[in-house]
Structure 1
Amino acid sequence: MKKNWMSAGASAVVLLAGIGGGTAQAQTAADNTATPPVSSDTAQSDAPAASVTSQSEDDIVVTAQRRPEQLIDIPLSVAVLTPQRLEAAGIKSTMELAAVTPGLTIQTLGAFSEPLLRGVSTTISGVSNPSNIALYIDGVYVTAQDSYDFDFVDVDQIQVLKGPQGTLYGRNATGSAILVTTKRPSFEWSAKGSLSYGNFNTSRGQLYLSGPISDTVAFSAAGQFRNSDGYITNITTGNKKAGKNHRETIRGKLLFQPNDTMRFTLSADHINLREPWEVNMTFDPRYSMNYDIANRRYTRKIAMTSHLTLGRTTLS
């Protein structure tokens, strides 16, 4: 009996070893064929940048500390998202950034957006209550929480700086800062557009055009729309299009560059959003009042930025 027990034990050990080896081989093969994530905090891209210009993956220059530096040398954390990564992941607006940015969550309360990064956020929403996670578009601070939600039209790069950034980006960046950089007008003609149609009568289109006006002046114009009937049916009112939504974004930029050391950019934005906002008030289990309320937002912005280089000093 003892001899049979020892034989059975040895067979079990051999069997487990074979299973373990097979598992290790399968895991190694899977690791060799796995594709890298769309955005991650790697050593190459895990550093903050207020402005990034990259020639290659191994040579990225940032100005997070208000001076040009190698991205890999910055001792802070940042997630850098390029248009290629956003397109590959299907990210169309700021509300979807959390899908490709570790540690980031974006919640909504009515018309107001509340970003949360590394557990830091705010519990106060309102027109005069800015978020403690600052949003900058082309270096211009966005004050209102109801302006955080917008579609990407001509985005050139998005940087999510993690951790307190109040020293460089003001008192409303105690949680972090999100920097959105749009494409600069080009002195060479370029154009790009797309049109799509999907379920629930969903249509989407966008167009980008840029080119020179003179030797020192260039322009860019970008527009995008999105319409959908939605998939919500209000069984109380009988409205089968309670989730209907509409978005349109228009941005124009004018660049004046008299020489290589000086440039001025005038930009104007128009954003129109109409989304469902369901309100249900129940006073008694037998009765309820349900209304189809539309959440409408209009945002218009005009900004002027300048960039001047004097020797080794840059003013912007």
Structure 2
Amino acid sequence: MRAYRKLHSSGYVALATGIALGLSTTSTQASAQTADGGGLNDIVVTAQRRAERLEDVPASITAATQETLTAAGVTDIHDLDQIAPGVQISFTGAYTQPSIRGVTTLTAGPGWENNVAVYIDGFYSPAPVGVNVALSNLQDIQIFKGPQGTLYGRNATGGAILINTRAPTAEFTLNAEASYARFDDVSLNGFVSGPITDTLRVGVAGTFRRSDGYYRSVDPAGSGGTVGNAANIRQQSIRAKAEWDATPDLKATIGYNYVLIDDPTTLLFPNQGYAPSFLPAEPLAGRAPYRASSNVNTSNEARVHEGTLKLVYKTGFGNIASYTGYQKLAARTVYDFDGTYLPILDIDGPNNKYTFQHTTDVTIDSIDRLNLVVGGSYYNDVDRNDGSKVFLNSALASFTYARLTAKAWAAYFDATYDLTDRLILTVGGRYTRERKGIRYRQLDASQTINLVPAGASSATFSDFTPRATLRYELSPRTNVYASFSQGFRTGGFQPTPAADPSQLRPFRPEKITAYEIGFKTAQSIVRFDASAFYYDYTDLQVGVTRANPVTNSLISFVSNAPSAEIYGLDLQGSVEPVRGLSLMAGASLLHARYKRFPGITGVGLDPATNLNFEDVQDWSGLQMTRAPDFSGNAGASYETALANGTLRLSGNVSYSGSSPQSNPSVFGSRAGALARVQRYRNSAYTLVNAQVGWAAPGDHVTLTLFATNLTKERYYINYGGTTIFGDVGVFNQPRTVGIRLRYQN
């Protein structure tokens, strides 16, 4: 059976029509008509750590409010590619892996960090687990494309995603939502907020979700049927804020966040071919779509407890803002790596992560023609592997203990000066210094014998990341700009033991230098952005999967690609031709290739045996992962009166061209004419979503029917190969239909 489907011609026509209608997307349908129907409201973003109109910021940004996302049928952060051209949100279990213009990470889990920085309410999210849970009190999401090393710091080589939740309200507010969808997917969300005193306000948001998941366990008796759910999903969260006006000039916001997520879907490892002879024949290996087998109860649970304190003090020269946060992440992964009912290789890995962070910003706006931001940050992180267990043929084989530490200091400034009434110059820079450390032991089942010598090491990384932009206002709310910026992703150590302490060497930091020109306008009923960019990318960290020489299990391993080149064009815009009708569309043309990447260990195929093998390959000139040459989206929403209420119709279509999903490996040195052909690719695919809703009189109660993946497209969300168990892959969720009931006062 085909692992994926080619683009349907009807989907391509729908996308092209949407782009023609929408002129390309701003996906910021946060825009709304003014009271007289004569134009768009301002969209305010904080890309430069101050509130500005979207069209006045010299950068490529996609912004969307809760209302925008709801109208587009986006209910999950993983669906942002439906409204943001050039963006993909992948995930491994509980861990999110954003990709912006081809910049992404291929490693996920405790000990690994993304190269797209995620911030929630101004706080850096070191392990973006919480974003996988619906944010019932979402205010807006802002996606900044391109390196953001100056203002958003470490690990922002690809960009930054800012998620802002609603502040406690001065009036009693109650929102509640319940939904039911295919696969017995039940979801409850709520937000309640209001004043305690004239100066104290409190808000609490909660989410709850349970789902059978869309993968089923094959019958071990070989009947060809299924016997139960393979990956049940659990999600719940509580987000509480108290906002206090301590004085007329000092506002304090204290928050507590709790998140539980258990989504083992991407840890099922169903075999997709090239299986060795010791694996059982179908159906036990789970090779049919949406079927899997495992001899353990697969789990990928993560619990987050986080406390935050934000202080904002208004002064005569500007504002002083302080952000202090502490987060504890407790995670445990249990999975069957061989993907069969045989007890060949099972993993049980507990991890704990403790993170303290503090940032202080001083914003000065009292100097004529000058806006200045000066700040500093401190980051301290401890990540512990508290005894991961490997089981071989049902027998406990080893324990691994590891402790990774990171301490980072940074100072930055960003100054915007109006050279004339229309010409604006911005310059800035950040200096970052970070020290990484590792200590590990790998013991036998008795925990008395070292399987490899215990090791420890540390390394210090530092860098200065500048930026400069020049913006010219052609006319009110119409600008052109040119920018130069750099991003820096810290180096580090593999969170797994080395066979010998002498091999315990850090991988290098990655750095990106970006050049961009753009045009932005917001006029009457139309918004339109266009940007062209070029990235010079060095030492990018590429994750590969290799065999552990001690236990024969598989480990994630980072190699540095010496250089890569990315360039392209983004278009996005929206139009409201008549009251009640909104059209939006967008497109991304992207060329993302490794320039030089020889001598990398990949997964090759031996045609003589039809088995995978560990192969030394050359990926120079090949396409980077999650970087399709073309992607696009289009959507429409319409409101009209019906039965004294409001009928709301919306739909969107998104297209992604072909690209490697999780592994850039080629067929390899023994494959003849296929030697340089990448193996683990998704073919192009098109997703179509739609929803129809009716709001009762007063707009307090809304009932919505929704459908996702209407055309039943199939593609891999995780796809790669191993030298032990052949190729493994997990598909996207099939067509899903559901109903949602919402109340808001």
Q: Could you tell me the TM-score, scaled by structure 2's length?
A: 0.35
Matched residue of 1:102: which SS?
Answer: coil
- In 1, the alpha carbon distance for the partners of 2:44 and 2:108 equals 36
Pick the structure with more helix per residue. 1
* Aligned-residue offset at 1:302: 1.0
| Range with greater deviation from structure 2 (195-204 or 135-144) | 195-204
Work out the CA distance in 2 between the residues paired with 1:126 and 1:86. 28
Matches within 5 A, 1:84-233: 84-233=67-216
Change (3 A) 1:71 1:202: closer
**How many Å apart are 1:144 and its aligned residue?**
1.4
Q: Is the 2:231–2:298 contact (alpha carbons within 8 Å) kept by the matching residues of 1?
A: no
Q: Which residue of 1 aligns with 2:734?
A: none
Aligned mate of 2:268, from 246, 271, 278: 278
- 2:301 is paired with a residue whose SS is strand
Distance 1:263-1:233 versus aligned 2 partners, 3 A rule: same
Equivalent of residue 239 in structure 2, options 251, 265, 277: 251
Matched residue type, 2:239: R
The equivalent of 1:59 in structure 2 is 42
- The 1:59–1:226 alpha-carbon spacing in structure 2 relative to 1, beyond 3 Å, is same
- Cα distance, 1:155 vs structure 2: 0.5
Which stretch has the larger CA shift, 139-148 or 115-124?
A: 139-148
How far has the Cα of 1:171 moved from its partner? 1.8
Residues 127 and 145, structure 1, Cα contact 8 Å, conserved in 2: no
Change (3 A) 1:61 1:153: closer
1:241-265 CA deviation, whole Å, 9 max, x = no partner?
A: 2232121121111111134432111
Once the two structures are superposed, what CA deviation does each residue of 1:122-154 show, in whole Å capped at 9, x if it has no partner?
233342221110000000000114455232221
In structure 2, do the counterparts of structure 1 residues 55 and 268 end up closer, same or farther at CA, with 3 Å as the change threshold? farther
Letter in 1 for 2:294: N
| TM-aligned CA distance change 1:122 to 1:201, over 3 Å | closer
Deviation at 1:75, TM superposition (A): 1.1
Preserved CA contact (<8 Å) 2:186 2:211: yes
The more displaced of 271-280 and 131-140 is 271-280
Match of 1:172, SS state, is coil
Question: What SS does the aligned partner of 2:187 have?
Answer: strand
2:284 maps to 1:290 = no
Cα displacement (A) at 1:102: 1.1
SS at match of 1:215: coil
Contact kept? 1:153, 1:249, Cα under 8 Å = no
1:311 to 2:355 alignment: no
Q: How does 1:13-28 map to 2 (within 5 A)?
A: none
- Gapped runs of 5+ residues in structure 2? 1-16, 35-39, 221-225, 286-292, 322-745
Matching residue's letter, 2:191 = Y
Contact 2:93 2:262 in 1 (8 A): no
CA spacing shift, 1:171–1:199, aligned 2, 3 Å: closer
Could you list the per-position Cα deviations for residues 194-221 of structure 1 after superposition, in whole angstroms to 9, with x for gaps in the alignment?
Answer: 2222333221111110011111111001
Shift of residue 182, structure 1, vs aligned partner = 0.4
Retained in 2: the 8 A contact 1:112–1:146?
A: yes
The match for 1:263 among 251, 275, 280 is: 251
Q: Deviations over 1:142-195 (max 9, x none)?
A: 011445523222110100001110100012111100000000001211111122
Secondary structure of the corresponding residue to residue 101 of structure 1: coil
* 1:125 counterpart letter in structure 2: A
Cα distance change on mapping 1:220 and 1:67 into 2, 3 Å: closer
Give, as a single letter, the amino acid of the residue that structure 1 aligns with 2:87.
L
Letter in 2 for 1:244: N
In the TM superposition, 1:37-52 aligns within 5 A as 40-41=25-26
Higher mean displacement: 59-68 or 190-199:
59-68
AA partner of residue 262 (structure 2): R
- The answer to whether the 8 A contact 2:191-2:204 is kept is yes
Letter in 1 for 2:185: T
Q: Provide the secondary structure at the position in 2 that maps to 1:95.
A: helix
Q: What's the secondary structure of 1:243's corresponding residue?
A: coil
**Shift in CA distance, 140/214, structure 1 to aligned 2, threshold 3 Å:** same
> Is contact 2:94-2:263 (8 Å) kept?
no
User: Counterparts of 1:174 and 1:257 in 2: how far apart (Å)?
Assistant: 37
- Note closer, same or farther for the CA distance 1:190–1:100 as it changes in structure 2 (3 Å cut): same
Highest RCO, 1 vs 2 (Cα 8 Å, sep ≥ 6): 2
- Listed as ranges, the matches of 1:74-89 within 5 Å are 74-89=57-72
Q: Secondary structure at the match of 1:200?
A: coil
Deviation at 1:53, TM superposition (A): 12
Query: Match for 1:290: what amino acid?
Result: S
- For each residue in 1:43-71, what CA deviation from the matched residue of structure 2 results, as whole angstroms up to 9, or x when unmatched? xx69xxxxx99997343444432344333
Q: Is the 8 A contact 2:238 2:258 kept in 1?
A: yes
The 1:258–1:55 alpha-carbon spacing in structure 2 relative to 1, beyond 3 Å, is farther
Distance 1:218 1:113 in 2: 32
Q: 1:59 to 1:259 in 2, by over 3 A?
A: farther
Work out whether residues 62 and 143 of structure 2, in 8 Å CA contact, stay in contact via their aligned partners in 1: yes
1:301 to 301, 306, 312: 306
Identity of aligned residues (%): 32
Q: TM-score, normalised by structure 1?
A: 0.78
Return the structure number with greater strand share: 2
Kindly provide the amino acid, as one letter, of the partner of residue 250 in structure 1. I
Alignment partner of 2:160: what SS? strand
- Name the stretch that deviates more: 158-167 or 141-150: 141-150
For 2:63 and 2:303, the matched residues in 1 are separated by 29
Aligned to 1:22: none
Please tell me the residue identity of whatever aligns with 1:254: A
